[in-house]
Structure 1
């Protein structure tokens, strides 16, 4: 029987773990420690830990995989295969080398494009028309190992980060299921990545979350959906933070300054962007208030029509 250690953390990893365990069994799940969540800071396990415990799989949650303890834990299992999917930590070579058949990663992009921790967010923000999943051998250099298999999907205008996470996690589970038999049999091929074609997608920073309405309409639209439903892009209005969860493109134009709220629409309110086109905001949340559809928001705050989004604030 093939001994497998699975390493993953967020919802993206859940369908992949479920599929691997169903087909092959998983001897150990390594995931991130519980973290405080919400206003009450309740210590909460990551989704992979929750599933693993439900499945009765042993769970190990180290702060770092660089310690002797973590190395010894992996060595104790003596795995044939180490599978990672959005684990969130870089693995040292001595840990990777413990897997007899190799250590593989299920990465949510078409490598060598979008190496790094936020490939789904960045694919949307960058306006890519397609993305996908790549299964690759792991090495110490970030997401640079040989490619075993890949599969792509189209990015549609109604996609956001949430929908792409779901699509790509399901695609990743399917692709891994198709790829695993040859890996276990030692019959799979792999190809070297072209480093000259590589692009990098670092984790989203606080500054990345600010929506800039001076950009062209398509860039504003992509930025909003690339941050939805998390961490959520924001701007300011009347000195307060305004989170923007969703928006729609329009063909309408205005000569008003970029960022100006020009009026109500059937499902929200329209804002001028850098190329003069209007973007229709459809779901927002003002600081200190509940999330609401933008139509109700602007109906209750009609005095904001004519105001510009994006004033400086200290928070």
Structure 2
């Protein structure tokens, strides 16, 4: 039987690991170290570790793969194939060269678009009409290897990063399981990426999370849903950061960032060419709430300006 080492870390990767382990011999899982989470800094394992332990698979967690004892251990296992899905570290060349069938990656974009760590976020933020999953060979350069298979799905108006994440994880399972037999038999295709079409999706920075309203309504709406439900965009109102969990496009006319209405529907905020209706927010120091609940009895909000 083909021996596989799986490398992945977040929720996106868990269902993919489960599917592979159900059909093939996964001899080990490599994932990121446990990390402190929340205000109490509780040490928490990555989702893939939880899945691997449930399946009874050996887990390795190097803080840095290059030069580690774990790297030597993985190479010594002589896997036929390495499958990665959102692992979070570049693989050193000695590991890329080790498996008989190579190293492949399940990437959540239609390569060569959106190479990097946040492809789902940028596809939504940039207003793409579709995205998808690419199964590709791994090379030293980030997400630059030959594409083996690819499948697209639409990005709907109601989608955010959370819904697209779940759809793409499920699509990754489906496409990988369809593609693995050809990889193992050596009959798969290899399509080089067109470097002239490459775009990047670097990890989201704190500055990327700041929502400004001096853009068009679609751009503001896409920015908000392209950061929800993580890391969640924010804007300043009355000197305090307010997280913006969800919104929808609306009509209106005013100074960009100006609150045009505050009622049970939410906060209507002007953009450069219309408005967005904020429907879920999180004021500083408070829990996530319906914007309509926050607006109740707050007619004084009308005329105030976000980021003003």
Say yes or no: does 1:294 pair with 2:298.
no
Q: Which residue of 1 aligns with 2:233?
A: 233
Q: 1:172 deviation in Å?
A: 0.3
- Distance in 1 (CA, whole Å) between partners of 2:199 and 2:297 is 44
- Equivalent residue in structure 2 for 1:261, among 259, 262, 266: 259
Alignment CA distance shift 1:292-1:151 (3 Å): same
CA distance in 2, matches of 1:242, 1:60: 39
Q: Spell out the pairing of 1:1-315 with structure 2 (5 A cutoff).
A: 1-250=1-250, 252-254=251-253, 256-275=254-273, 277-311=274-308
Distance 2:304 2:111 in 1: 43
**Greater shift after overlay, 288-297 or 302-311?**
302-311
Number of residues of Structure 1 aligned to a counterpart in Structure 2: 308
Cα deviation for residue 302 of structure 1 reads 3.2
Distance 2:90 2:75 in 1: 17
Indicate the RMSD between aligned Cα atoms, in angstroms. Answer: 0.9
Normalised by the length of structure 1, the TM-score is 0.96
**Moved >6 Å (runs of 4+):** none
Per-residue deviation at 1:253? 2.3
Structure 1 residue 245: Cα displacement: 0.2
Query: TM-score normalised to the size of structure 2?
Result: 0.98
Distance 2:176 2:287 in 1: 40
Once residues 159 and 200 of structure 2 are traced to their aligned partners in structure 1, the CA distance between those partners, rounded to angstroms, is 21
TM superposition shift of 1:126: 0.7
Q: CA deviation at 1:300?
A: 4.9
Q: What's the CA shift for 1:40?
A: 0.2
The 8 Å contact of residues 62 and 68 in structure 2, kept in 1 or not, is answered as no
Asked if the contact 1:106/1:133 (under 8 Å) is kept, the reply is yes
What is the CA deviation profile of residues 211-245 of structure 1, one whole-angstrom value per residue up to 9, with x for unaligned ones? 01001110000000000000000001111110000
Q: Is the 8 A contact 1:3 1:77 kept in 2?
A: no
Distance in 1, Cα, partners of 2:216 & 2:187: 49
Cα distance in 2 for residues equivalent to 1:133 and 1:74: 26
Q: Could you tell me whether the CA contact under 8 Å between 1:74 and 1:98 is conserved in 2?
A: no
SS in 1 for 2:234: strand
Contact 1:71 1:94 in 2 (8 A): no
Q: State whether residues 146 and 190 of structure 1, in contact with CA within 8 Å, keep that contact through their aligned partners in structure 2.
A: yes
